[in-house]
A and B are shown apart, each in its own frame.
Chain A
Amino acid sequence: MKTLVLGLGNPILSDDSVGIKAAQEIGKRLNNPQITVAETSAAGLSLLDSIAGYDKAIIIDAVQTKNGKAGQIYRMGPEDFSYTKRFSSPHQINLITALEVGKMLGLVMPQKITIFAVEAKNVTNFGEQCTPKVEQAIPKVVEMVLQELNAENP
């Protein structure tokens, strides 16, 4: 069972780096040849390249919701975004469409995808640090991902 843990974001755009920081921390604490930890700043079709070939994928990213509080963590599946399936996102195409394209073309796509999203406060100022509440969420989301992996790979 090949599993991918993918941190998504921009490492120099404040809270947008939260997924990458969490993935780096997870990478330090794992030693399982079945689990690959990676990070990427790409989106859209490039995501397809990153996740193709794995049986399971866990994606960690920043999110901004209407009434969200900075540092709040959400655990979601692709179905939570199903209403966006036919919508072409600003990033070329979104995750759901990328998955559908992959399936349509017969690529091996993960059977299960779990998304951990951390509510971001600042994604418009360049900086290597997250804002305090988002920084505090990093160890929490790391634990959540490790628990998820432990439950699936006992």
Chain B
Amino acid sequence: MKKIMIDPITRLEGHGKIAIFLNDDGGVANVYFQVPELRGFEKFSEGRPAEDMPQITQRICGVCPEAHHMASTKALDDLFHAEPTSTAKKLRELLYSSFYVTDHTTHFYILAGPDFVMGPDAAPAERNILGVIAKVGLELGGAVIRTRHENHWVIQTIGGRPIHPCFGLPGGVSKAINEEERAKIEEIAKASVEFAKLSLKVFNDVVLKNKEYLDMILSDTFTHRTYYMGLVDKNNKVNFYDGKVRVVDPEGKEFCKYAPREYLEHIAEHVEPWTYLKFPYLKKVGWKGFVDGKDSGVYRATPLSRLNAADGMATPLAQEEYEKMYSTLGGKPIHHTLATHWARLIELLYAAERMLELSRDPEITSPNIRNIPTATPDEGVGIVEAPRGTLTHHYITDEKGVIKKCNLIVGTTNNYAAFYMSVKRAAEDLIKPGKKITEGLLNRIEMAWRPYDLCLACATHALPGQLPLEVVIYDAQGNELQRLSQGIS
């Protein structure tokens, strides 16, 4: 059996290994997906005061600490039975919207951008952020950096610290903002809305006007009919910070809608012998293997899933773009994985518009930022939408609030099964007997998983570049036939 290894997954957070095994004819026999798992977090948390969890859990990941901080803080509200004040909720959502602006911007321009702006067949030396800036122009490149920089200031101003906020407390937040800060946040929000509109225009010009890309988005190679998950508000509109988790079936009909406390009634995890990963699935549908369709409990929780699971966007400009996407790609739900990049930009616009709304809210500078908890803590669940999927934190404590048990379902985890299916489908469709395996072809396989932006063993900071992408092809006896290395010039 011939073996192709793609190691590690380039342009994703954390290291991963994908092994594609070929049969004797040169077609795909099987695909395996492994990641080095970080271990011992539950044990690490046991015996610690619950109120430390928003600080500790945000260190799990170097990419989305704000999401962990927020899910953890909401779990503490529930645990201490302390409903946050209206201003506290708005400040949390304001910070969280600003975080979304930074994260979605990073993904589009650095991870997704090279595939589309440079093209899947571009030389690896150009298929990166430097190539993107060279092509779209220094002005837009500067806007990317400026948008991130200004929104980091917002996160620092509201959250008390850059990147790792320290403001979430059970029942509220630790500090208010003043009028001067509010006015500056409003200006940054306005600029972020313009930047999001510009990004959608880039997507429109570069991707949608290119028939080859549009055909690729709509092709079977990048399509799976699954269930979709996302948080929605009381009007069933997309919400990143609060609400109920809604799941729709592959036809777009509501399958279930649940409050955070009920998550264990709906989600179970499947174990495979060839990986440490656990694959979450819908309990009430059941695990039927790595297959799509209505009878399979495989679901997705991505930007596109959130839009599929909701009835629309709560802000006007994002709603317009939402309607445009569904009318262009043939109605709801959209099963084409590559459309996730479009959905992410619509979410970027929503996040910026929501920031602007909240920055103009008369309550946002109120000093009424906390309800002090008085009840005995016992158990709490907090759910937010992390950029990479629904994030659940669940803590059980003793009566003093010391952690006895901690369970987390991290955003990325939701998508493991669908991710695996997407890679397998792309490999099977693209690697054919007798067809030369080129870098462009391998990059198209990578494009099948890039939309998920899996955050694998995150937060390890071993110095960069130790493990370049390598593809090794072995013959049936295990001898190396060919070695393709991306990025080593």
- A127 proximity list for chain B (CB < 8 A): 40, 44
Partner of B488, one of A41, A45, A48, A83: A83
Interface residue? B3 (CB, 8 A): no
Interface residue? B218 (CB, 8 A): no
Interface residue? B463 (CB, 8 A): yes
Interface residue? B457 (CB, 8 A): yes
| Contact status B145-A48, CB under 8 Å | yes
- A41 proximity list for chain B (CB < 8 A): 59, 62, 65, 163-164, 459, 461
- Complex CA–CA separation, A126 to B41 (angstroms): 6
- Complex CA–CA separation, A94 to B462 (angstroms): 11
- Complex CA–CA separation, A19 to B462 (angstroms): 11
Stretch at the interface among A25-33, A62-70, A137-145, A146-154: A62-70
| Contact status B44-A43, CB under 8 Å | no
Interface residue? A3 (CB, 8 A): no
Partner of A93, one of B128, B152, B457: B128
Partner of B106, one of A10, A45, A88: A45
**A43, chain B: closest CB distance, angstroms:** 6
Interface residue? A5 (CB, 8 A): no
| Contact status A64-B462, CB under 8 Å | yes
| Contact status A81-B111, CB under 8 Å | no
Partner of B163, one of A8, A46, A120: A46
Q: Which residue of A lies closest to B110 (CB)?
A: A92
| Contact status B462-A62, CB under 8 Å | yes
Please provide the chain A residues from 48 to 99 with a CB less than 8 Å away from any CB of chain B in the complex.
Answer: 48-49, 61-65, 81, 83-97
- B145 proximity list for chain A (CB < 8 A): 45, 48, 101, 105, 107
Of A43, A87, A96, A105, which is in contact with the most chain B CB atoms at under 10 Å from its CB?
Answer: A87
| Contact status A104-B40, CB under 8 Å | no
Of B128, B138, B162, which is in contact with the most chain A CB atoms at under 10 Å from its CB?
Answer: B128
Interface residue? B291 (CB, 8 A): no
Interface residue? A12 (CB, 8 A): yes
| Contact status B133-A16, CB under 8 Å | no
- A115 proximity list for chain B (CB < 8 A): 463
Interface residue? A108 (CB, 8 A): no
Please provide the chain A residues from 1 to 35 with a CB less than 8 Å away from any CB of chain B in the complex.
Answer: 8-13, 16, 19
**A22, chain B: closest CB distance, angstroms:** 13
Please provide the chain B residues from 3 to 46 with a CB less than 8 Å away from any CB of chain A in the complex.
Answer: 8-15, 36-41, 43-44
- On B, residues with C-beta under 8 Å from A are 8-15, 36-41, 43-44, 56, 59, 62-63, 65, 106, 110-111, 114, 124-126, 128-130, 133, 138, 141-142, 145, 148-149, 152, 162-164, 456-457, 459-466, 468-469, 486-489
